[in-house]
Amino acid sequence: MNSQSCSLFDSPQEIEKKPATPKIEASWLKVLQDEFQKPYFQELKEFLVQEIKSGKKIFPPPSQIFSAFDFCPFDNVKVVILGQDPYHGTGQAHGLCFSVNKQVPIPPSLQNIYKEIHDDLGLPIPSHGNLESWARQGVLLLNTTLTVQKSNPMSHAGKGWEEFTDRVIQEISDRKEGVVFLLWGRHAQTKGQNIDRNKHSVLTAPHPSPFSVHSGFFGCKHFSQTNEILKKLEKNPINWEI
């Protein structure tokens, strides 16, 4: 990782200072520099400052808010998986969509993702839910909203993160070629509606949630399809084994 920190704030003292630019991986900083100066992002930071100062617990921890970018520099992005909201339970979220820290139980949606990978590629079901190995291979695991209040799902929706992640997707679409976007569920598909299909591959399926997984996520074979697309583009396929 090329940044010393991926936090909105370098330390508790920085909460008072509200630095102009968050620390984020160097290639992403180059792409997104002007976004951090926009009024909506300044308002977002002020909202987070007030949440923290009021004693509310925010997930993921500030040092991991931009982990998706830190583990997957802009130049390395080959695949994008879009999530929605970070996990809101203690110890779960660490900045990568669908991923959880090793010491906590695997959430139901990720269990279903693992089942599909097993059926698609014959890989063993992992014993933990940490997806950092995917990110290091060029899979950007991007949530629409990058923070959440403990035990309060969607509590940071509509505060500015959606505009920021829209810009992230647009920059990938505009500046890169041959990226595979995996859009699971209506929310992700709406979020990705402006991706340039002439330059990129977009695979869609229902969300892997237990509520929708049987309506088409199981059997979608997105993981083998992704690797076939990457191979045709003469890119290294993803090792989906955890």
Could you list the active site residues?
85
The rounded distance, in Å, linking the Cα atoms of 146 and 13 is 22
C-alpha angle 34/40/46, rounded to 5°? Answer: 110
Cβ neighbours around 4 below 10 Å, total: 8
The rounded distance, in Å, linking the Cα atoms of 118 and 109 is 14
The rounded distance, in Å, linking the Cα atoms of 239 and 226 is 11
The rounded distance, in Å, linking the Cα atoms of 48 and 217 is 35
